[in-house]
Amino acid sequence: MTVLSVRNLQVAFGAVAPLSGVSFDVAKGETLGIVGESGSGKSLTAMAVMGLLPLAGGRITAGSITFDGQELTTLTEKAYRRLRGGRIGLITQNPMTSLDPLQCIGPQVDAVAVLHLGMTAREARARTVEILGTLRIPDPATICDRYPHQMSGGMKQRIVIAMALAADPDVLVADEPTTALDVTVQAQIIRLLDDLVKSRDLALILITHDMSVVAQTCDRVVVMYAGRAVEQGPVGDIFDAPQHPYTQALIGCIPRGLDDGARLTGIAGTVPTVLNYPPGCPFHPRCDRAEEVCASIVPELEPNATGAVACHLPGVAP
């Protein structure tokens, strides 16, 4: 059952439009991966869903975001505040800065349930201990009295996840949740998120730059480039039969994705920044398939058998 759906989202900061033509759906019990390089607009998409754009000086100029039948783009800040951290949870990239260094862990997690579920302090603490337990944090009752600086990065990220879960959300947005962590810790956090999606019937939007993380956790994938969704579909199709040249090139950039003897080449050129998005298809200057039409007309996201692709010349690599 689709719980959150985004249609043709466009975001502007003053005269600059760093995001346009983004559409996707996410259902309960499903993980949707949004993958892209820096400046692709993946974090902006998360901010838009969380209603946090006004904080950064941006606004939604077109498109819609519907959550459980409710339109979010026209919501007042007050109504959004009830939703945010309540029915839509957020996990940020840097666990080092998302916790208050002057407050113990317990009260920080308790506050979410007190605020959104109207629990008493005692009920909230019991719930906190229970959630910390399900996140496999050893000895949760004593952890509540610790300060963030007394914990490792992986442990702090678990606390951030606990805060996101405290109000029993339907949708969880995780923006690069493991980028700041070591590989062994990353593996544990990813596994934890995977378990939560299944056991709590959550809809998880996982934003990452890492194709391997996508391959291991996601059900569906949106590939973003220069502020646009260029391809989307089930994870199997995206990896086995990618239609967009950028998706194909991105998979070719991962050393472990190569057969023996194959060489890494990378994608020639550089990732464009918001200020120099090329006209037409944003990928055409780096694309070896590009023709004249690609330089002038922006390709729309056209549905295909299992997903959608925004390319004038789609098709599996020759």
Partner 1 sequence: MTVNLMEVRDLTKRFTAPGGPFRKARVMHAVNGVGFDLARGRTIGVVGESGCGKSTLARLILRLIEPTSGTVRFDGDDLLAKSAGEMRKLRARMQMVFQDPYSAIDPRYTVARAVTEPFVVQGRTPDPGEIEALLTMVGLNPGLASSFPHQISGGQKQRVGIARALALRPSLLVLDEPTASLDVSVQAQIVSLLEDLRSELGLTYLFISHDLSLVRYFCDEILVMYLGRVVEALPDTDRPARHPYTRTLMESTFAPDPAMRRVIAPLEGEVPSPFDLPPGCAFADRCPNADALCRTDPPALERRGGHPVACHHPL
**Contact positions vs partner 1 (CB under 8 A):** 37-38, 136, 152, 154-155, 182-184, 186-188, 190-191, 209-213, 215-216, 218, 235-236, 239, 249-258, 263-268, 270-271
Residue closer to partner 1, measured from CB, 107 or 234: 234
Residue closer to partner 1, measured from CB, 122 or 263: 263
Task: Return the structure tokens found at 4.
Answer: 């959150």
Please tell me the distance from the alpha carbon of residue 45 to that of residue 305, in angstroms, as a whole number.
25
Residue type at 37 in one-letter notation: E
Q: Residue 271 CB, nearest distance to partner 1 (Å)? A: 5
**Chain centroid to CA 245:** 22
**Chain centroid to CA 84:** 15
Q: Residue 224 CB, nearest distance to partner 1 (Å)? A: 13
Residue closer to partner 1, measured from CB, 154 or 315: 154
Residue closer to partner 1, measured from CB, 4 or 251: 251
> Nearest 5°: phi and psi at 13?
-115, 100
Q: Residue 219 CB, nearest distance to partner 1 (Å)? A: 9
Residue closer to partner 1, measured from CB, 3 or 213: 213
Q: Look at residue 23 and give its three-state secondary structure.
A: strand
Q: How many CA atoms lie within 13 A of 61 on its CB side?
A: 14
Residue closer to partner 1, measured from CB, 17 or 253: 253
Please tell me the distance from the alpha carbon of residue 164 to that of residue 183, in angstroms, as a whole number.
22
* CB neighbourhood size of 281 (10 A): 27
Task: Return the structure tokens found at 309.
Answer: 């692709």
Task: Return the structure tokens found at 176.
Answer: 């690069």
Q: Residue 85 CB, nearest distance to partner 1 (Å)? A: 28
Q: Residue 266 CB, nearest distance to partner 1 (Å)? A: 3
* CB neighbourhood size of 188 (10 A): 17
Q: Residue 313 CB, nearest distance to partner 1 (Å)? A: 20
- The count of residues in the chain is 318
